[in-house]
Structure 1
Amino acid sequence: MKDAATAPPLSIRAAGVRDHDAIWAILEPVYRAGETYCIPRDITRDAALEDWFAAPFTAFVAERGGEVLGTSHIGANRAGGGSHVANASFATAPAARGQGVAREMVTHAKDWARAQGFRAMQFNFVVATNADAVHSWEKAGFSIVGRLPGAFAHPAQGYVDALVMYHDLTGDSDDA
């Protein structure tokens, strides 16, 4: 992995079938650890990819020099009266952590959501012990608007809180 300062720029594009192996390589260790997502730790590759690409979400990859370093998916949080609020999930390759990949993916997600007509973005279930994610999303303009006590069964820490985080997308687009 090259130093991010001297590496080619990161680009984010819609993901497709050709990206399945790279996306699974990123998602599998996250899901197997069971510390951040409400996904069965033994989920199969096919089931995980089906979930990641499922409607109403659009999947993306972040790549640098042709190497996929992260993935996201973005779509409506809920249907009907909640369809103006986007939701998104993110995962970064272990070797790419700390290189600004998550920051660029969340900026892309907010810009993409605005362009699709979403007025806000909400993360329904951020595990409170995932300090890096909480910090990143707060830096990106998200606020903690709710706390779900003991809502997540963490494999090492027991029942921990989950957070609801929210960001109004109708303001200045340069807010990350």
Structure 2
Amino acid sequence: MMIRPAMAGDEDRIWAIIEPVLRAGETYALPHDWSRDEALAFWLGAPHSAYIAGDGGRMVGTYYLQPNQRGGGDHVANCGYIVAGDAIGRGVARAMCLHSLDEARAKGFRAMQFNSVVASNSRAVALWQALGFATVGTVPGAFRHPALGDVDALVMHRTL
């Protein structure tokens, strides 16, 4: 699997990956009705550094890396990952997370924090735990799931 920084010209492929996840509204606390331009402005815009994952010449995932906070919290990284629907279960999220941990270290971050892991997203929770993230907080009912109603959001953290 090849993972590289996103470049001009990747927008259509990134949109093809993120649109179904945004529309489903099951894992990201982002507007499900965003337009292509709004979603790409968020995913590719500052302060994000965006990356794409390819396998055999096909894009199978994308992620962004950013400071979790500004000022006194800018030594902690934050990421968001999305895997193409037909690539789920093939190790893409694991590869992107491991890549992001290396990128975060190289950029001088000392920890990584996920602010809102939807508790019903059991695959993601299990993967982040396997990669050394601990749940350091639970925000009850903080995510409005379209099928399950209000579910908890987990704050997950690990040092680098």
CA–CA separation in structure 2 for the residues paired with 1:94 and 1:86 = 26
Cα-Cα RMSD: 0.6
Structure 1 length as normaliser, TM-score? 0.90
For residues 116-140 of structure 1, give each alpha carbon's deviation from its aligned partner in whole angstroms, at most 9, with x where no partner exists. Answer: 0000000000000000110111111
Tell me whether 1:27 sits opposite 2:18 in the alignment: yes
Which AA in structure 2 matches 1:82?
A: G
1:101 aligns with 2:87: no
Specify the alignment match of 2:123 in structure 1.
132
Q: Secondary structure at the match of 2:126?
A: helix
TM superposition outliers: structure 1 runs of 4+ over 2 Å: none
| Aligned counterpart, 1:121 | 112
Decide which of 97, 110, 118 is 2:101's aligned counterpart. Answer: 110
- Residues of 2 paired with 1:154 and 1:17: CA distance? 33
Distance 1:42 1:82 in 2: 31
**Partner deviation per Cα, 1:82-124 (whole Å, 9 max, x = no partner):** 0000000000001111110100000000000000000000000
Amino acid at match of 2:38: A
Q: Count how many residue pairs are aligned between Structure 1 and Structure 2.
A: 160
Answer with 1 or 2: which has the greater Rg. Answer: 1
Partner of 1:159: 150
Q: Which residue of 2 aligns with 1:148?
A: 139
Between the aligned residues of both structures, percent identity stands at 55
Q: 1:76 aligns with which of 67, 75, 79?
A: 67
SS state at 2:9 partner: helix
Paired letter, 1:59: A
1:23 shift after superposition: 0.7
Tell me, which stretches of 5 or more residues in structure 2 are unaligned? Answer: none
> Is 1:18 aligned to 2:9, yes or no?
yes
Q: Report deviation, 1:46.
A: 0.5
CA shift, 1:17, in A, is: 2.2
Q: Which runs of 5+ in 1 are unaligned?
A: 1-9, 170-176
Q: Structure 1 residue 30: deviation in Å? A: 0.3
Counterpart of 1:26, as a letter, is: I
